[in-house]
Structure 1
């Protein structure tokens, strides 16, 4: 297991600074959730972690190593990503897509070893896609495809797994299963979630972003307070303890919204 650090991370897109001097530490084996309103910089920060975007300042470190200084192969062995864009251009079978997770470890056209085949089988079982192994990826629903891509990421055997809104397209059962898998792995996990109640249940710690800046970090109970949610989201809520787990639960009404109370300093056109 490895820890992950974002030290003074800033990121700029089209000349606009989207993430501002972000400092985060994710301990080895922790599930860390990034939450915040649309445009708060969550996905942009993750893109820097899995090297889809080069930071404009600061550094991303895995066990002290600057990921930007690693070779692409070494980086792919350390960090795996499940992104929002689960599109596919080629209609490979599910089994072939999952096996692509071994590419960072392969040289030439070497066939999968017995251990690697078992790794693929186990990952497909864990994500409930083994019965789809012979199906083409383009024939699957969005939720099925999401689970296949998670299996591929697990087969990659990374130290750090980053997931950007992984519960998109998933029904309730598979949302719970997926987040349960994250808690059962030995991986260091960073996950972007919009559902605050799911984040509270699944994550050891949370980081709340707004306007590209870190507003709060800590346990779900420390971060998800009614006052802070009103400040960042502009929504009045009641936060209570889950009757079974004690995790914070955010309750809200669909009635008329109160006047927005978001601090103007936290607003901005960020992604």
Structure 2
């Protein structure tokens, strides 16, 4: 299912946070949003999972205006892992993951055999089986991040929206998570701060600066030394990964004056 942000603008307390953003994510594509802190990435994502209503513009899922779908239908189509997706009650890992089935169940309907199997397989894919009976409040930040992703995946969405999903994860779990996304077949819109991970995982990248889209294209088209310097204020060299050919950025720390 295709996802399209069409002329999206968001104004909060008189401040324009996102300005006329148009970006398309093709069926089964992974599109990354990158940009400096405060550039509007998370704000744009919140419009896709309906935590915010855009001031103008439309979010489309397939042929539908997202705002015209019922909350239940919207949750069946779009699943999200928010940057601030805290779990305040000490449910077990298995219980939190099972909550992802809520949009597909009626009232207090119990999980059937298929749902239980789906939850178990998803927890296994995200290395959570051994933690199934642990309370989520006892987990590390990275473990909790994987639980929230598992909850989103068992929703069986057509579109997955992720805000900094690799935050708190060690290198192994970062790679496993992004590899899972690449093989999922889902339409994915993801905010990433690590430009090298974005280059490796994403089919296309959109670059935001001060709420506006300043570049969009393949990683090779977007991640240039000029753009990285202009948008992020960082000098970098771009090389090709020796195994994959993906562009990779090399940074050098600037010498600091003595304290």
* TM superposition score category, shorter chain reference: over 0.9
Q: Distance in 2 between the 1:108 and 1:19 partners?
A: 37
TM-score normalised to structure 2 length: 0.97
TM-score normalised to structure 1 length: 0.93
CA contact (8 A) 1:48 1:55 kept: yes
1:97-108 to 2 correspondences below 5 Å:
97-108=96-107
Which residue of structure 2 aligns with residue 187 of structure 1? Answer: 186
Aligned length: 256
Q: Distance in 1 between the 2:206 and 2:158 partners?
A: 20
Q: Distance in 1 between the 2:61 and 2:107 partners?
A: 27
Which residue of structure 1 aligns with residue 18 of structure 2? Answer: 19
CA contact (8 A) 1:86 1:145 kept: no
Q: Distance in 1 between the 2:218 and 2:245 partners?
A: 12
- The residue matched to 1:100 in structure 2 has which SS? helix
Q: Distance in 2 between the 1:207 and 1:168 partners?
A: 19
Deviation, 1:236, is 1.3
Which residue of structure 1 aligns with residue 223 of structure 2? Answer: 224
Question: 1:3-44: per-residue Cα shift (whole Å, max 9, x none)?
Answer: 000000001122211000000010000011000111110000
Instruction: Give structure 1 regions of 4+ aligned residues with deviation exceeding 3 angstroms.
Output: none
CA contact (8 A) 1:9 1:55 kept: yes
- The residue matched to 2:133 in structure 1 has which SS? coil
Structure 1 regions of 5+ residues with no counterpart? 258-271
Which residue of structure 2 aligns with residue 120 of structure 1? Answer: 119
- The residue matched to 2:9 in structure 1 has which SS? strand
Which residue of structure 1 aligns with residue 239 of structure 2? Answer: 240
Superposed CA RMSD: 0.9
Question: 1:115-137: per-residue Cα shift (whole Å, max 9, x none)?
Answer: 11111011101111111111111
